Amino acid sequence: MELYARVNILDGRAVRLPYGTLDDVIYLDADPVARSLGWIAQGADRLHIVDLDAAIKDDFRNRPLIREIIAEVDVPVQVGGGVRSNLEVDRLLDAGAWRVVMGTVAITDQVLFWEICRAHPGQIAVSLDITEDQELVTQGWQHGSGRYLEETLIELASAGAAAFLLSEVGRDALKEPPNFDALQVAISIVDEEVIAAGGVRDLDDVRGLLKVKSGDKHLAGLVIGREVTSGRFSVEDAQALLTGAAKDLGPWSLEQLEEEAAAYLRVLTDGGDRDAAMTMEHVECFLRWLGGGTP
């Protein structure tokens, strides 16, 4: 699973959207370029940039800034927001974008979406914003579409989408868990990459996302942002967890080892053994080492 760092841009500044709408926008940084470089320095694998002015206002004032970000960083950058024409896709790819993310048009004009995917194979992802009951919303989270996740995934995969970013509108990512059911539906239906784009509360949610699978298919990525800036965990913490999940631990998975270690520690501490604390430290260090961290 790859870690994507989110950079939302509004009025030339990096912002946070606590509930996925502009109602409670929080301005974070006047320099999105520096913010992007900071994410890479922390260890993010890729950048996910959303141009909110373009998405909501059809205002493309941020495009030169996005071009500058792409030129400055050394990781793949996918860009979304206001991409509603072949011309705009061309402009972003010419600017160096690794992948272009489409939203509203993919839902409302599938003929155009087919044409764009044919012209740019493997370079078009779709951002799917859903309600709790898996209805798709469009135009910057402002309008219900009357269409639902399962049917939409099938149609857009057939059209040539390279990946799907899935998030739930109205959810507070720091208080509510990801929509695991919707993510499970997505990976069970399509072979293309599915990326959890709605954020997580903590590392336990990351572990939960690692368990979402269908056959040999897993989630391809996780978009992070305010859970890191608010101090819930670091990019390094998340990367250590993902590295551990990818390790070959012989007949044991990392999750199984964690469960067995927890059971073992419960047995030790129930007896009130003063040495249990030291044993607990040893086991925790061992698990961190298995997960790719330091002892």
- pLDDT, one tens digit per residue, over 55-111 is 888 899 999 999 999 999 999 999 999 999 999 999 999 999 999 999 888 988 989
Residue-number span of the structural domain to which 186 is assigned: 2-246
Q: What is the pLDDT of residue 65?
A: 96
Q: What is the pLDDT of residue 173?
A: 76
Mark whether 137 and 104 lie in a shared domain. Answer: yes
CATH code of the domain containing 118:
3.20.20.70
Mark whether 224 and 282 lie in a shared domain. Answer: no
Instruction: Answer yes or no: is 77 within a domain.
Output: yes
Mark whether 264 and 237 lie in a shared domain. Answer: no
Answer with the one of 230, 246, 262 that is the final residue of a domain: 246
Q: What is the pLDDT of residue 90?
A: 96
Average pLDDT over residues 37-46: 96
pTM of the complete model: 0.81
Instruction: Answer yes or no: is 85 within a domain.
Output: yes
Mark whether 12 and 126 lie in a shared domain. Answer: yes
Instruction: Answer yes or no: is 295 within a domain.
Output: no
Mark whether 218 and 275 lie in a shared domain. Answer: no
Mark whether 142 and 264 lie in a shared domain. Answer: no
Mark whether 278 and 232 lie in a shared domain. Answer: no
Give the residue among 60, 122, 127, 61 at the shortest CA–CA distance from 97. Answer: 122
The pLDDT of residue 141 is above 60: no
Least confident of 9-23, 211-225, 227-241: 9-23
Cβ(242)–Cβ(291) under 8 Å? no
Q: What is the pLDDT of residue 287?
A: 66
Read off the pLDDT of residues 191-230 as tens digits, 9 standing for 90 and up.
999 999 988 999 999 999 999 999 989 999 999 998 898 8
Mark whether 147 and 43 lie in a shared domain. Answer: yes
To the nearest whole percent, how much of the chain has pLDDT over 70? 80
Mark whether 175 and 283 lie in a shared domain. Answer: no
75-102: b (≥16 Cβ within 10 Å) or e = ebbbbbbbbbeeebbebbbebebbbbbb
Label residue 1 exposed, middle or buried (CB < 10 Å: 0-12, 13-18, 19+): buried
Q: What is the mean pLDDT of the chain?
A: 86
Q: What is the pLDDT of residue 24?
A: 73
Least confident of 67-71, 276-280, 282-286, 291-295: 291-295
The pLDDT of residue 274 is above 80: no
The pLDDT of residue 10 is above 70: yes
Label residue 210 exposed, middle or buried (CB < 10 Å: 0-12, 13-18, 19+): buried
Mark whether 241 and 258 lie in a shared domain. Answer: no
Instruction: Answer yes or no: is 218 within a domain.
Output: yes
Instruction: Answer yes or no: is 276 within a domain.
Output: yes
Instruction: Answer yes or no: is 125 within a domain.
Output: yes
16-37: b (≥16 Cβ within 10 Å) or e = bbbebebeebeebbeebbebbb
Instruction: Answer yes or no: is 235 within a domain.
Output: yes
Mark whether 20 and 132 lie in a shared domain. Answer: yes
Angle at 125 between CA 83 and CA 236, to 5 degrees: 110
Mark whether 155 and 66 lie in a shared domain. Answer: yes
Domain count, the chain: 2
